[in-house]
Amino acid sequence: MERRCNNCRFGKNAKKVLLIEQFNNPFQYLAADVNYDGKVSTSDMIEVRRLILGIKDTFSNVHNWRFVPTYFFDPTVCDFTSFNTNPLKAKCYFNIGGDSLSYFPNSQSKTFMDEFTVPLVNTYLRKQNTWNWKAAKSGDVDCDANDTKLIEDTEEKLFLKNLHRCYYTDEYVNFTVKARTDQEVTAWEMGVRLNPDVLEFNALENTNSGTPLDVENFGLTKWNQGQFRALWIDTLLTKINMQNYTELYKLRLKVKQSTCNFDSLFLLSGKVLPTKFYNDTAEIKNVSILLNIEDVNNGNHSQLVKNVYPNPFDKKISIEVELEKEGFAEISLYDNSGRLINNKKEFCNKGINILTFEDNKGYQQGIIHYVITTKEATQRGTILNTKY
């Protein structure tokens, strides 16, 4: 079962996840700790963001719902008062036998989460509460999950209806998505349906909005299935003023087939991810969205990455890049689950530069994704690793 989260709950509660505001319900801790490391941190935010973007379909370390048997809350069974303070550090001290269970499994792989055992002669078998559970939906920090409303079945909408010309095979275009609202924005999300037979993703361009964005804000893994997702959450508490049309993101795309119907190739789609904007407390209803399509001049659309070698590689990865002017270039490597496995940032001269990771020891066999970022653009690609 695919596990979906709604950015409304996640966006509104970013301050809580960042520990700027306190939780007021112990089950919020259980919902927030999606990587099951016993604390609530930005690592959990990253996991939820990847789920919203479709980079991952499930949380790796926790179930869809997190259950605690009501049995443990009976004061005649165990002392569980510490649960209300912080369940991640709580223990259930049994009144009989002197044993205890905690949030993490003990040597017998037992925890107060998800399951428990009751001896057949125990009188609690005849009590209704023995077979009840209290639960929190993983990632639902607001504790108001409703599966039927997580992804809305809204109609698809056009960004714009008229374009100034047709586009032809192997041309490059910049898609700039802008939004306008009278309120300050602390989070936004957007789902797009596209035609992957006509449009090929080439690079993520930097915008002039001042909003920090990188590849982690975009779900590109399902591009070939005709889906694209984007979101931004105000983790730096900067907010966005959008009283004038403000750039959300800019994509550089390659035209694979000639077309005069761009207006039907890139559609807002609630079936992919609802297009929503939020302030500190609620969803913002009155938001205007505009898509600008700009021609890319010949000679300016050359890719940053010229070569990746050897491919498949043995002991090191070398990535050859070409910069239009000197500046810093940063390269990050991710495994197929989206986990960052290496990172390098170097000052590069104008022209050809080679950035090298000396040893791939510890990298898993299979696909490795790279992301290279300069001041002007971001580009991503894949490398085949045949060495464990």
Question: pLDDT (tens digit, 9 = 90+) per residue, 22-63?
Answer: 677 888 888 888 888 888 876 777 777 777 766 677 787 887
Residue with tokens 């209704």: 128
Q: Is residue 263 part of a domain?
A: yes
On whether residue 331 sits in a domain, the answer given is: yes
Residues 10 and 115 in one domain: yes
Distance CA 252, CA 379 (A): 10
Question: 8 and 121 share a domain?
Answer: yes
Indicate whether 24 and 108 sit together in one domain.
Answer: yes
Average pLDDT value over all residues in the chain: 74
Q: Is 142 in the same domain as 3?
A: yes
Final residue of a domain: which of 148, 176, 192? 148
Domain match, 258 and 319 both: no
Q: How many residues does the chain have?
A: 388
Q: Is 212 in the same domain as 108?
A: no
d(CA 119, CA 275): 51
Domain identity same for 162 and 244: yes
Task: Count, in order, helices (H) and strands (E) of the chain.
Answer: 4, 25
Query: Who contacts 326 (Cβ-Cβ below 8 Å, separation ≥6)?
Result: 347, 348, 349, 350
Distance of CA 308 to the CA centre of its chain: 27
Residues 266, 192 contacting (CB under 8 angstroms): yes
The total domain count for the chain is 3
Say yes or no: 114 and 165 in one domain.
no
Report pLDDT digits (tens) over 164-220. 567 778 888 888 888 889 888 888 888 888 888 988 887 777 666 656 566 667 777
Choose the final residue of a domain: 126, 148, 170: 148
Contacts of 379 (CB under 8 A, 6+ apart): 202, 203, 204, 303, 304, 305, 371, 372
Do 130 and 24 belong to one domain? yes
Instruction: Specify the residue for token string 């259950």.
Output: 67
Could you tell me the residue range of the domain that residue 318 belongs to? 305-385
Same domain, 178 and 277: yes
Domain end point (choices 148, 183, 203): 148
**Are both 331 and 244 inside the same structural domain?**
no
What pTM value is reported for the model?
0.55
**CA angle centred on 378, ends 293 and 311, rounded to 5°:** 125
Q: Where are the beta strands (DSSP E) in 181-326?
A: 184-185, 187-194, 199-205, 218-219, 227-233, 240-241, 246-255, 266-268, 276-278, 283-284, 288-295, 305-309, 317-323
Q: In 10 A of CB 125, how many CB atoms?
A: 11
**CATH code assigned at 162:** 2.60.40.680
300, part of any domain: no
CATH of the domain at 325: 2.60.40.2550
Could you list the pLDDT tens digit for every one of the 388 residues in the chain? 334 444 444 544 454 444 445 677 888 888 888 888 888 876 777 777 777 766 677 787 887 888 888 878 888 888 888 888 888 888 888 877 778 888 888 777 788 875 555 555 556 555 655 567 787 888 777 666 554 333 444 455 555 544 556 777 888 888 888 888 988 888 888 888 888 898 888 777 766 665 656 666 777 778 888 888 888 887 666 778 888 888 888 888 888 888 877 767 778 887 888 888 888 777 888 888 887 777 775 444 445 666 666 555 556 778 888 887 888 888 888 776 667 788 888 998 888 888 888 766 666 666 677 778 887 777 777 776 654 3
Same domain, 310 and 242: no
Strand (E) or helix (H) holding 381: strand 377-385
Structure tokens at 173: 């275009």
